Amino acid sequence: MADSLHQIVIEADQHTIYQALTQNQGIQAWWTDTCHMAQQEGETCQFWFDNRQTCFTMRANKMLDGQRVFWVCLDGPKEWVDTQLWWEIQPLIDGRCLLDFKHMNWQKDNGIFALCNSTWGNLLQHLKEYCEEGRVNPWFHNLKASA
């Protein structure tokens, strides 16, 4: 088994970060512009990529407001199925937050693991920019821009 681990300090409060991880508007601002987010534990989230040719389905196993988000991948590329995505938000004394992210339970550390690990590093930077500056810049684009 292999795990991808990332940690980043974000100059935003924990509720801003939690909303960016759990709401359609938040995910669409930094990860993929096409998604449907779970509203409570046990529901599923869907994320589309490659002009809506690829869909990842995650079950929201844990959603603790302002603290933690935990998803399990139910459907998508074979390497992703049964992997677990875990987000932990820890407020710091100075008003910033420490965000720990783990993408766990990979069956092997080759194949798309390395690419996904690198991509998560870039994604967390986009998440940081969205939470700190309100910058909308999803890493993945499925929607065509209007003329």
Number of domains composing the chain: 1
Whole-angstrom Cα distance, residue 132 to residue 1?
34
The whole-number pLDDT of residue 147 equals 43
The DSSP code for 65 is: T
In a domain, 143, yes or no: no
3-state DSSP assignment of residue 23: coil
- How far is it, in rounded angstroms, from Cα 85 to Cα 49? 18
pLDDT digits (tens, 9 = 90+) for 67-97: 999 999 999 999 999 999 999 999 999 999 9
Say if 89 falls within a structural domain: yes
Residues of the chain with pLDDT under 70: 144-147
Q: Is residue 91 part of a domain?
A: yes
Report the pLDDT value the prediction gives residue 12, as an integer from 0 to 100.
98
Residue indicated by tokens 């302002």: 66
pLDDT for the residue 1: 85
147 in any annotated domain: no
Q: Is residue 110 part of a domain?
A: yes
Which domain, by its residues, includes 57?
2-133
Write down the pLDDT at residue 145: 54
What whole-number distance in Å separates Cα of residue 100 and Cα of residue 20? 14
> What spatial distance separates the first Cα and last Cα of the chain, rounded to whole Å?
46
pLDDT of residue 14: 97
The CB density around residue 97, as the number of other CB atoms within 10 Å, is 23
User: Is residue 8 assigned to a domain?
Assistant: yes
Q: Which two tokens stand for residue 36?
A: 């449907």
| pLDDT given at position 144 | 64
CATH for 36? 3.30.530.20
Question: Does residue 144 lie in a domain region?
Answer: no
